[in-house]
Structure 1
Amino acid sequence: MAQQADGCQVRSFAAMGSPCEIRLHLPDAVLGQRLMQAVVDEVERLEQRYSRYRPESLLSAINAVAREGGSIEVDEETALLLDYADTCHRQSGGLFDITSGVLREAWRFDDGGVPDPALIERLRARVGWHRVCWERPVLTFPAGMEIDFGGVVKEYAVDRAAALCMSAGVRHGIVNLGGDLRVMGPQLDGSAWRIGIQHPRDPGQAAGTLRLSSGAIATSGDYARCKIVNGQRYGHVLDPRTGWPVRSLASVTVIADFCLVAGSASTIAMLKQDEGAQWLRSLGVQHLWVDVRGRCGGSLLD
């Protein structure tokens, strides 16, 4: 759906399981419509290639090989994503692991129970990026594995969408894919965009409000997909070392030049649990965290 708001062209759509929105200031309304459609098409292209839910996707073809064990050659775009995932795996001490998606076979957030620990242990035996041989452009798997780009592809899509817009001359706009977003210059009047960060324990409240004229924001948290069993919250951010949800930080928001970087940094901080806040400080990135007790901290509050 496209509309005009405050002199800004707006397009709302759904992709990657999330509500999405594009806001652009362009003097040519027709060009704006075409550009927004090109952005929607690009996001859809990436979803078709890398969705684990689509049996015809490239990711499904890769995982068919991974389940049986064997090798597959990938294209340059996929290789770049694998290179980035490999870097994140090394820099996180193995916490950021795109093979950990198999754990979702135990963690189903539409039921009311906690998985059998024995099942989690069996699945953990199939986790470990270090067990995959990645020698560009060939991936080689032992049998029983799979990969999941859920931790990178939406953020990558934000950056791709922003690149399309900026190459077309956009200097005032924002791309928002399910709360992961990229700001392409200030608003038309020169003011920064105001962006609210949802509080992970109070959906009606903001943990903070940011003002941004350029750059990207991404948030990882335990509230978007979770369940509560006997008063204990179990979120979808799973520690690949244990197979269980993290239980220290409730959400982490990071500002960076690129959404891909902001997203991986926020996820790694969640996975580092009690060490996450210190790790973010050591990186020198702007950030905001909320722990499971509702306490807030980070450089954005300083």
Structure 2
Amino acid sequence: MSAETATSRAFGLPAVLPGSVRTARAWVRQVMGLPVSVHVRAADPARADIDDAVDALFDDLRRADDVFSLWRPDSALSRIRRGELAVEAADPWLAQVQDVARRAVEATGGLYSTDLTGPDGTRGWDPTGIVKGWAVEQAAAHLRAVPGIAFSVNAGGDLVCGRGPAAALVDSAWRIGVERPGTPGGIATVITVTEGALATSGTAARGRHIIDPRTDAAADARHTSVTVAGPELTWADAWATACFLDPHALAAAGPAWSAYRVVSVTG
């Protein structure tokens, strides 16, 4: 999986309740070809169970890289594309992502596609456009199970925020600044997220790399980035790509997707 530049940043927010917990701790590691940061608020963020959950989160992301990276010829997905491995015989995550990717193709009317050319120049099944969001969403489940915490996970600019059980006295709100492409330190908009996700698709970091399945060519959009917010990063990520290609995609999807919304369009 290749890296996107960080397009969103988490900022502190005044306590939402008198006496609410603000003590925080952060971890940053390079995984899936991009920097991933985890921020946790808790009365005691040095607790062993928090460390264990963070380690498990990063273990899951490394597993996702082992399974899905098209930059690694030994990954399960690379072997599937070469015809050396069947999905049914591979890591069970392949079958799960195959189902999610199929749903994403249907929901976006084909604006999200899995028929793409990989880094080796060959064309084949490629669900990696949705894998980062899916993998981070899955991995965040380890933090959701830890009592008394609020957390924010930032994977190259796409974020998941949430909290564990019994977190009523923890400040659970995160102010997320969406960077303005081409303006280091510039902020296009700021939104507050307590439980939910934020994803951005754009061309500022890697140029015209988003392929429009309708033309089989790099998208020539009028904007440089689109940011979508919603309950799950998997789908915020898919809709950010779809809305970059067609600004009306989410509105056209109907009430089933009303929990997702475009929060920023730049360029």
TM category (shorter chain) comes to 0.7 to 0.9
| 1:80 aligned residue | 96
Counterpart amino acid of residue 245 in structure 2: L
Query: Matched residue pairs, number?
Result: 238
Map residues 286-297 of structure 1 onto 2, 5 A cutoff: 286-291=261-266, 294=267
3-state DSSP of counterpart to 2:178: strand
| 1:112 aligned residue | none
Q: 1:252 to 1:210 in 2, by over 3 A?
A: same
Is 1:9 matched up with 2:25? Answer: yes
How far apart in 2 are the matches of 1:151 and 1:22? 22
**What is the CA distance between 1:75 and its match in structure 2?**
4.8
1:24-53, Cα deviation, whole Å (9 max, x unpaired):
134352222222111111111111111001
| 1:163 aligned residue | 141
8 A Cα contact 1:170 1:184, kept in partner: no
| 1:25 aligned residue | 41
Q: TM-score under structure 2 normalisation?
A: 0.79
- Larger proportion of helix: 1
Given the alignment, which residue of 157, 180, 197 partners 1:179? 157
**What is the CA distance between 1:242 and its match in structure 2?**
1.9
Greater C-alpha radius of gyration: 1
Given the alignment, which residue of 80, 85, 89 partners 2:105? 89
Q: 1:84 to 1:29 in 2, by over 3 A?
A: same
**What is the CA distance between 1:187 and its match in structure 2?**
9.8
Extract unaligned runs of 5+ from structure 2.
1-11, 13-21
Q: Which has the higher contact order (CA 8 A, sep 6+)?
A: 2
Is 1:203 matched up with 2:184? Answer: yes
1:189-233, Cα deviation, whole Å (9 max, x unpaired):
53621111011242331110111111111111111211xxxxxxx
Identity of aligned residues (%): 29
3-state DSSP of counterpart to 1:100: strand
Moved more, 12-21 or 244-253: 244-253
Extract unaligned runs of 5+ from structure 1.
107-143, 227-234, 295-302
3-state DSSP of counterpart to 1:21: strand
Map residues 221-260 of structure 1 onto 2, 5 A cutoff: 221-226=202-207, 235-246=208-219, 247-260=221-234
3-state DSSP of counterpart to 2:30: strand
3-state DSSP of counterpart to 1:202: coil
Q: TM-score under structure 1 normalisation?
A: 0.70
How far apart in 2 are the matches of 1:71 and 1:191? 43
